[in-house]
Structure 1
């Protein structure tokens, strides 16, 4: 039995692992003639610890997300995809990706990198990817990348 996916959501956080997930998601979307959703979740919980928070941090994070996802969208279109959507959301990336965006985008597949940017949170409460696996309303594919890609991710996190 061959599965066919029509709405593929890929989590992008700027890490090498999410870049690899994007590359694989683009290939899967092209093979399935699917719509590709690019999601970046801005973790607003981090801002609550800053006593002088005035919204400028959110603005900077939003600018970064718009630029990042815009570049990924351009690459996806250059690689033959016709339908690419950008989703920038605010809140805990775990719940935003697995519960909110997956449902509103009507995803039938979520693709994530095996590791992301936040090594400390992964040690304390588990990774975003682990949470998405347990709570997503659709299939989840974890992209591990090559051994050399994973070595680079580990070096960046240390």
Structure 2
């Protein structure tokens, strides 16, 4: 089995990273780290790619220290849809996402990645606050 971690490298995902590493280690599952670049960040694609690669390498290093097999995936598109697609593709037992703590109005106006994943993922979803 495997677990999927959806991350964007922002501070609110750091607890989700910690949780995913511990979850994968305790359950002896492979960890798939999905970093999704939103199309709205295309204007700064090179900077975003560099940031994404650094973030994923940091997670890969931490995972290696804990004996967790890790695959990193860099995708472009909808963060929620990408996380769901990877979970389906790898037969994940769980998807782990962080939450930014946005207000109800923010979720209504721009949507919530974690909420969309909770409603549509084919497996257990763990939202880390």
Q: Does 1:73 align with 2:68?
A: no
Q: 1:13 to 1:65 in 2, by over 3 A?
A: same
Q: 1:45 to 1:16 in 2, by over 3 A?
A: closer
Bigger fraction of residues in strand? 2
TM-score (normalised: structure 1): 0.72
TM-score (normalised: structure 2): 0.87
CA-based RMSD of the aligned residues comes to 2.2
Name 2:80's counterpart in structure 1. 94
CA distance in 2, matches of 1:14, 1:116: 15
Q: Residue 6 of structure 2 contacts residue 79 of structure 2 at CA under 8 Å; is this kept in 1?
A: no
Deviation readout 1:4-47 (Å, 9 max, x if unpaired): xx211111112233110111111111111110111110001343
CA distance in 1, matches of 2:41, 2:5: 23
CA distance in 2, matches of 1:60, 1:46: 10
Q: Which runs of 5+ in 2 are unaligned?
A: none
Q: Residue 45 of structure 1 contacts residue 91 of structure 1 at CA under 8 Å; is this kept in 2?
A: no
Counterparts in 2 of 1:8-157, with a 5 A limit? Answer: 8-47=3-42, 57-81=44-68, 83-98=69-84, 100-115=85-100, 122-144=107-129
Deviation readout 1:35-88 (Å, 9 max, x if unpaired): 0111110001343xxxxx5xxx3233222211110111101111231x101011
Q: Which runs of 5+ in 1 are unaligned?
A: 1-5, 48-52, 145-158
How many residue pairs get aligned? The number is: 128
